[in-house]
Amino acid sequence: MEILTYVLEGAMEHQDSLGNRTGTYPGDAQMMSAGAGITHREFNFSETNPVYFPQIWMISDPEELGKKR
């Protein structure tokens, strides 16, 4: 899967099991490839202010579209 996150308001933090840690702020877009073996989490930077963001998940391999789940 390819995951696109676009922050409209507030700020998010991303952490993964490889030790990567990044911030995403209003107007920023983050593209992430998801696969087996790496865990991640995204969360609101603020304990008091909301974060608003659309997130789009896309199948990265068109051949996967034809496979039954």
Q: Quote the pLDDT of residue 65.
A: 63
Between 38 and 26, name the one with better pLDDT. 26
- Predicted TM-score of the model (pTM): 0.75
**In whole angstroms, what is the distance from residue 65 CA to residue 57 CA?**
13
Residue 24, burial from CB neighbour count under 10 angstroms (0-12, 13-18, 19+): buried
**In whole angstroms, what is the distance from residue 8 CA to residue 19 CA?**
26
The DSSP symbol for 8 reads S
For residues 55 and 28, is the Cβ–Cβ distance under 8 A? no
Q: Delineate the domains of the chain, giving CATH numbers in brackets.
A: 2-61 (2.60.120.10)
pLDDT band at 7 (very low <50, low <70, confident <90, very high): very high
